[in-house]
Structures are given as structure tokens and as C-alpha cells.
Amino acid sequence: MTEDFELIPSIIALANNRSTGELAFTFPEVVEAIHLCTSNEIAVLGVEMFVIRNGGYYASGCSTYDLQLPRKGPEVQRHQWTEYLRESNN
């Protein structure tokens, strides 16, 4: 899904690592990246947290909040997107 981000240079500018094939952000830049995603109607899902050791990134956990969001069916419908986006990105 990186392609959606690549259409928005201001989000790319906040990324500090792309070695995994996905954009990575550090704090506090990640907060601005989420705000930019929200204003561009991009949902942020499956957040993974990493620690840096010996110059490499190591996974330290991932979120499951997106699985806890209420849904009115197996897939988010187009007319539900704005509500889902706000809940997800909050």
C-alpha cells in the first residue's frame, strides 16, 4: 500500500527509513504523518513498533486496534469510509 503514500510528498518527507519496503516514521513525526494521512483519506492500519539495535530495526510489537473497531459488515463500505477513517486514525 505504499503507493498511496508516494502520491503525497509531505508524507514521504516525514519518513526516515524505507529499508523494509514500507515507510517508517519516528516520534514525533509519526503524529504528523497520521494527520496527513487522515486529511488525504488514507487509513492507518496495522501499526508496528520497532526498536533500533546495532543499526537495525527489530519488531517490538504491533497494534490490533483496527480489529476492535465496530464494523457494519465484513468490509467497510464507501459510505462508511469517513467514519471508519476517523476512528481508525484516532
Whole-number Å distance between alpha carbons of 82 and 55: 39
Does the pLDDT value for residue 2 go beyond 60?
no
CB-based contacts of 90: which residues, under 8 Å, 6+ apart? none
Q: Mean pLDDT over all residues of the chain?
A: 77
Residue 49 has pLDDT above 80, yes or no: no
pLDDT at residue 83 in the model: 82
- Residue 49: count of CB within 10 angstroms of its CB: 9
Cell numbers that stand for 74 in this block: 465484513
Q: How far apart are CA 71 and CA 54, in angstroms?
A: 41
